[in-house]
C-alpha cells in the first residue's frame, strides 16, 4: 500500500517481543529484507544487510520440512533484489549468496526444477564473468546432468556455455553433439565463438558456417512447437555470428528462413482463430492480478495451480487468509485448503 514506514514499525515491534519460533519468524525476516533492499548497486552496505536477512530465512526454514516453502520464497525475493547486480563489474558480488541459495534448494530437492536450473545458470554466468573458471567447471559437472534430466529444454544453453568456455572434455562434448541436430549446430557455433575470443579463427570459417547452416536446415520446425522455437533461436544466433564473421551469405539465408517460418506461423494462427470458440478468462488471467508481496505470506502450496504458473512467478503460494480454512473458486470448481501450521 506504499507505506513502508508502517511496515518498518510493525517489524520492529515484532522483533522486540520474543515470540514462538514459527513460520512467522521467517516471514518477518522476508519483510525486513524487502524493506532494506538496496536502492542502487553502489550501496554495498544495504546489499549485505539485505542478503543477511534472506540467509536468516533459509537457515531457519531449511531444517523444518513444513517451512521449506519459505526457502523458495526467499530465493524468489532475493533474486528480484539481486538482478540489478548482474551488470559487468557487479555480478561477482552475488556469488557467495547465490551459491548458497542454489545449494540449499538442491539439498531440499525443491520440486520447481526449472527455477533451480535458472539459478544454476545465473550462478554459472557469475562465475564466468568473475573469471572463476574452475568453480564454473565444478558447477557444470552437477548442473548439466540435472538440467538434461529435469529441464531438457534448457540443456542446449548450458551445453553452449560448456563448449564456448571449454568447461568439459572436448571428446565428451563431441559425443554429446551427436545426439541431436540442435546440439551439433550449437557445438559448431560455440567452437567458433571460442576461437573468436582467442583471435584464432580457422581459415575455412565460411565453410564451417555454411556447413552449420545446411545442417540446421535439416531440422523440421513443423514437427513440434518446441522444435520450431529452438530452430528460430538457432537461426538468430547463427545469423548474428555470421554477421560478426562477415559471412553475409549465411546470415542472409538465416533471415530468409526466419521470414518463412514467421509467415507460416501467421497463416496457421489465422486458420486456428477462425475455429476457436470464444472463451472466458482462465485461471492464470484471474490470478495474475495478485499483488507481488503476497509471496511473503504463504502457508501451503496448491498442487492444482502450481503447474500453470511460470516458474519464476512469485504467486505460486496462496496467501494466509483467516479463518483456518479458505476456499478458492476455479470456474465452477471449489478447492478447500486446510491450514495446520501454527
Rounded mean pLDDT of 115-134?
96
32-46, 106-120, 265-279: which is most confident: 106-120
Q: Decide if pLDDT at 112 tops 90.
A: yes
pLDDT digits (tens, 9 = 90+) for 174-199: 999 999 999 999 999 999 999 999 99
Burial of 125 (0-12, 13-18, 19+ CB in 10 A): middle
pLDDT confidence bin for 275, thresholds 50/70/90: low
Rounded mean pLDDT of 201-227?
90
pLDDT at 122: 97
DSSP 285-342: HHHTTS-GGGGGSEEEE-TTTGGGS-TT-TTSEEEP-SSSEEEEEETTEEEEEE----
Q: Decide if pLDDT at 324 tops 60.
A: no
pLDDT digits (tens, 9 = 90+) for 36-72: 899 899 989 999 999 999 999 999 899 999 999 999 9
The dihedral of CA 28, 31, 33, 35: what is its sign? negative
Do the Cβ atoms of 309 and 292 come closer than 8 Å?
no
Q: Which residues pair with 319 in a beta bridge?
A: 298
Q: Decide if pLDDT at 74 tops 90.
A: yes
Is 0.85 topped by the overall pTM? Answer: no
> What does the alpha-carbon distance between residue 97 and residue 78 come to, in Å, rounded to a whole number?
9
Q: Decide if pLDDT at 317 tops 50.
A: no
- In percent, how much of the chain has pLDDT > 90? 61
pLDDT at 98: 97
Amino acid at each position: 500500500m506504499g507505506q513502508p514506514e508502517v511496515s518498518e514499525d510493525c517489524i520492529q515491534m515484532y522483533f522486540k517481543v520474543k515470540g514462538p519460533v514459527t513460520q512467522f519468524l521467517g516471514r518477518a525476516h522476508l519483510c525486513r529484507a524487502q524493506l532494506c533492499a538496496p536502492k542502487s548497486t553502489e550501496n554495498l552496505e544495504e546489499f549485505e544487510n539485505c542478503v543477511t536477512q534472506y540467509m536468516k530465512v533459509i537457515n531457519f526454514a531449511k531444517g523444518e520440512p513444513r517451512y521449506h516453502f519459505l526457502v523458495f520464497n526467499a530465493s524468489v525475493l532475493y533474486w528480484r533484489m539481486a538482478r540489478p547486480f548482474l551488470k559487468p563489474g557487479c555480478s561477482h558480488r552475488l556469488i557467495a549468496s547465490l551459491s548458497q541459495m542454489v545449494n540449499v534448494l538442491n539439498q531440499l530437492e525443491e520440486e520447481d526444477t526449472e527455477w533451480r536450473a535458472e539459478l544454476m545458470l545465473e550462478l554459472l554466468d557469475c562465475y564466468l564473468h568473475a573469471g572463476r573458471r574452475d568453480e564454473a567447471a565444478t558447477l557444470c559437472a552437477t548442473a548439466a546432468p540435472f538440467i538434461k534430466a529435469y529441464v531438457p529444454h534448457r540443456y542446449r544453453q548450458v551445453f553452449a556455455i560448456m563448449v564456448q568456455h571449454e568447461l568439459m572434455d572436448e571428446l565428451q562434448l563431441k559425443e554429446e553433439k551427436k545426439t541431436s541436430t540442435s546440439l551439433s549446430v550449437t557445438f559448431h557455433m560455440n567452437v567458433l565463438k571460442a576461437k573468436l575470443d582467442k583471435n584464432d579463427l580457422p581459415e575455412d570459417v565460411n565453410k564451417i558456417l555454411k556447413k552449420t547452416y545446411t545442417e540446421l536446415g535439416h531440422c523440421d520446425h513443423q514437427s513440434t512447437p518446441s522444435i520450431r522455437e529452438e530452430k528460430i533461436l538457432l537461426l538468430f544466433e547463427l545469423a548474428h555470428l555470421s554477421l560478426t564473421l562477415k559471412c553475409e551469405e549465411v546470415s542472409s539465408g538465416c533471415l530468409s528462413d526466419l521470414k518463412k517460418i514467421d509467415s507460416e506461423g501467421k497463416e496457421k494462427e489465422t486458420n486456428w482463430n477462425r475455429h476457436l470458440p470464444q472463451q472466458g478468462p482462465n485461471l492464470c488471467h484471474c490470478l495474475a492480478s495478485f499483488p507481488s508481496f503476497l509471496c511473503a505470506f504463504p502457508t501451503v502450496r496448491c498442487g492444482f495451480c502450481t503447474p500453470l504458473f511460470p516458474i519464476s512467478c512469485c504467486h505460486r503460494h496462496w496467501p494466509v487468509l483467516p479463518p483456518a480454512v479458505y476456499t478458492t473458486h476455479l470456474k465452477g470448481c471449489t478447492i478447500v485448503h486446510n491450514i495446520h501450521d501454527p
